[in-house]
Amino acid sequence: MSKEKRRALFAALSLEFRKHQNATDALDDAAVAILGINRTDGRCLDIIQQNGAMTAGQLAEATGLSPGAITTILDRMEAAGYLQRVRGQEDRRKITVELTPEATRRTWEIWGPIARWSEHELGRYSDAELRFVLEFLQRGRAFIEEYGAKLRAQPPPPPAVAARRKGR
């Protein structure tokens, strides 16, 4: 493949990644609207769904939110019927948060078709191709997490710059 064709292929892949991310973002907006929650609540729901029962502190660490913000989210999500606090069997002081059966049912109604489509589509690829895709996604996620941490560690702009950015 010529350098020019390879550059064009890289550009097409880059654009497709961005379009995929935007489509996922729009889907998430629609999903949380159907669930009657906000995006931060939806992110917390997803983290708990991925990791299983966890403490409020673990959720705060996973999201980067303050313990106070997590408490507010948990109260709201518990009232909505999506999360439940469970007291530990051995240590009654330890409380974990887990999805309710209603949350599992409702989220599967929304994301189940994507899971089924993905399983069908991935079935078309060889084990070696699947390992390649998995490695690419894992390496990409690791890079994005590391780069995001670097961006978050940057100091905020001086007040005059921040005001100009806001159009003041």
9-45 tens-digit pLDDT: 999 999 999 999 999 999 999 999 999 999 999 999 9
At 167 the pLDDT is: 66
78 shares a domain with 7: yes
102 shares a domain with 134: no
CA neighbours within 13 Å on the CB side: how many for 34?
13
107 shares a domain with 58: yes
List the structure tokens of 55.
């403490």
List the structure tokens of 98.
């887990």
Share of the chain above pLDDT 90, in %: 86
At 1 the pLDDT is: 84
161 shares a domain with 105: no
Radius of gyration of the chain (CA): 20
Rounded to the nearest 5°, which phi and psi values hold at 88? -65, 145
Mean model confidence pLDDT for the chain: 93
96 shares a domain with 160: no
At 166 the pLDDT is: 72
Tens-place pLDDT, residues 43-82: 999 999 999 999 999 999 999 999 999 999 999 999 999 9
Give the model's confidence band at 134: pLDDT under 50 very low, under 70 low, under 90 confident, else very high.
very high
133 shares a domain with 101: no
pTM over 0.85: no
What does the pLDDT average to over 96-105?
Answer: 96
134 shares a domain with 116: no
Tracing tokens 């708990």 back to the chain, one arrives at 48
Domain range enclosing 46? 3-124
71 shares a domain with 139: no
101 shares a domain with 57: yes
Please give the Cα distance from 167 to 161 (Å, whole number): 10
C-beta separation of 56 from 71 below 8 A: yes
141 shares a domain with 114: no
68 shares a domain with 96: yes
Question: Residue 48 is part of a domain; what is its CATH number?
Answer: 1.10.10.10
Q: Is 49 helix (H, G, I), strand (E, B) or coil?
A: helix
At 161 the pLDDT is: 64
Please give the Cα distance from 155 to 147 (Å, whole number): 15
138 shares a domain with 114: no
At 163 the pLDDT is: 67
Number of domains in the chain: 2
At 88 the pLDDT is: 82
Please give the Cα distance from 107 to 101 (Å, whole number): 10
